[in-house]
Amino acid sequence: MTTTGVSADATVDEFADTLRGTVLQPGEDGYDEARTVWNATVDERPALVVRCAGTADVIAAVRFATEHDYPISVKGGGHNIAGRGVADDALTIDLSPMDAVRVDPAARTARVEPGVLLNELDHETQAFGLATPVGFNSTTGVAGLTLGGGFGWLSRRHGMTVDNLVSADVVTEDGDLVHASETENEDLFWGLRGGGGNFGVVTSFEFALHEVGPTVLSGPIVHPFEDTAAVLSEYRDLAADAPDEAAVWFVIRHAPPLPFIPEEWHGRKVLILAAFYAGGMEEGERALRPFRDIGDPIADAVGPHPYAGWQQALDGLAPAGKRNYWKSHNFVELTDGMIDNFVEYGETIPSEGTEIACAQLGGAINDVPVDATAYPHRDAEFTMNLHTQWEDPERDEECIAWAREMHETMTPHATGGVYANFVPEEVGDSQAAYRENYDRLVEVKNAWDPENVFRLNHNVEPTV
């Protein structure tokens, strides 16, 4: 094997002998599986994949990569839309074997390793009736979600994932392990909360937990697509006055073949209101009833569900191995013009797997000052994700063009910011992702990674 700075297999073998985990090279068993990520449009071939068994392996991998001039990519759950967990000719630090969760029910905290998926975290915390706000596809990795900000069904009540981060252990560019919190390496801790993987490899996250479930009021309300304009007009007024415990999102897509949807509607375009309440059942019934009373729905499956089950309810709509491209905007309101655009582009959705999804934000998220964390989007009341999904590579151009066209049409209504975890391109959009916090992120980058060792991300470029 010949790679940048390394001329013999013996060098890699010597490195591998120092690890508790394993090193995979092209052609070896397990290599193709290790380099595969959720988005099938990503087909990168790292020079090495280091499957880390613990923090010592991460330290060794960072030092080996910098010594031999490998670019470093970091893979947690492999769910990043831009596929930044892997890269051609890089040394990929694969954190997926590091999947331990330790819950302290008395302190209401959880220590989480970086290979943990959302469903694994929920499984452990829900054993004690606890949870922290995380995302809405349970196969997502905790690490990447958190470093980009992290939002989900609990966020209007309990804030972003980063708002619940208590501390983190980080391997820095020189292979040192440091601890970051509100009282230790405060600048690094600030940058980790929304600044992506720019500053090092996090080997442990500590989260605050809240009483949640184990049963919550949640479920979808399905309307004919033809009623979209009327339903959304009522929805926006109700959403503006909804309590923080309530989160009601909407999705335009082809109806999946789910048992609560009448069979004659399967495969037809629909508008779905996805409703959730982070509180008691009686209060939830009162809060969600006005949303359930809108129009004449095809189906209403709102009811008591296990919180962990609701967290997994959307997984089947975004399975691994499909081709994906996303475009996203943040909004402070829903206007008539926006609703008209949702209807117009809903008519031309290019595939059965594609959806126009809009999550309700606000609440506790926006109670946090913009400069309190690196995550800056404290003005957004909604975030739109054009989740374009298809299978045939020959349709790449068509599907991507549809998403870009709708995104451009929605631009005049948007804040100019974008959620970092929704950015599909390998480069670009860093200013939009980090907005007014970008300059401070550069200062943190200058202090912690002045050589830009950790650059395969939505990069903040150092200036020193």
Which long-range contacts does 289-293 make (Cβ < 8 Å, 24+ apart)? 290/238, 291/221, 291/235, 291/238, 291/248, 292/221
% of the chain exceeding 90 in pLDDT = 96
> pLDDT tens-digit profile of 311-340?
999 899 999 999 999 999 999 999 999 999
Largest CA-CA distance found in the chain, in angstroms, rounded: 69
Categorize the per-residue pLDDT at 427 as very low, low, confident or very high, splitting at 50, 70 and 90.
confident
Could you read off the pLDDT of 364-401 as tens digits, one per residue? 999 999 999 999 999 999 999 999 999 999 999 999 99
Q: Which domains does the chain have, with CATH numbers?
A: 9-94 (3.30.43.10), 101-211+436-448 (3.30.465.10), 215-422 (3.40.462.20)
Orientation angle between helical segments 228-241 and 281-292, nearest 10 degrees = 140
Cβ 390 vs Cβ 254: under 8 Å: no
Q: Comparing 1 with 163, which gets the higher pLDDT?
A: 163
Give tens-digit pLDDT for 339-359. 999 999 999 999 999 999 999
User: What gap in Å lies between CA 61 and CA 175, rounded to an integer?
Assistant: 8
- Per-residue pLDDT band for 106 (boundaries 50, 70, 90) equals very high
The pTM of the full predicted model, rounded to 2 decimals, is 0.95
pLDDT value of position 449: 98
Output 430 or 132, whichever has higher pLDDT. Answer: 132
Mean pLDDT of 148-176: 98
**Where does the pLDDT of residue 248 fall: very low under 50, low under 70, confident under 90, or very high at 90 and above?**
very high
Rounded Cα distance, 57 and 38, in Å: 24
pLDDT (0 to 100) of residue 424? 92
Those residues whose C-beta lies under 8 Å from the C-beta of residue 435, and which sit 6 or more positions away, are 376, 377, 416, 417
d(CA 287, CA 273): 14
Tell me the mean pLDDT in the region 38-57: 98
| Cβ burial, residue 14 (10 Å; 0-12/13-18/19+) | exposed
- Reported as a single tens digit per residue, the pLDDT across 176-191 is 999 999 999 999 999 9
Sheet containing strand 91-94, edge to edge, reads 22-24, 48-51, 91-94, 72-75
Helix ranges restricted to H, 314-434: 336-346, 396-410, 430-434
Written as six digits, the tokens of 124 are: 């452990």
Q: Is the confidence at residue 10, as pLDDT, over 80?
A: no
Eight-state DSSP code of residue 41: T
Chain-wide mean pLDDT for the chain?
96
Residue 362 makes CB contacts below 8 A (sequence gap 6+) with 156, 244, 380, 381
Point out which residues pair with 43 in neighbouring strands: none
pLDDT at 5 (0 to 100): 40
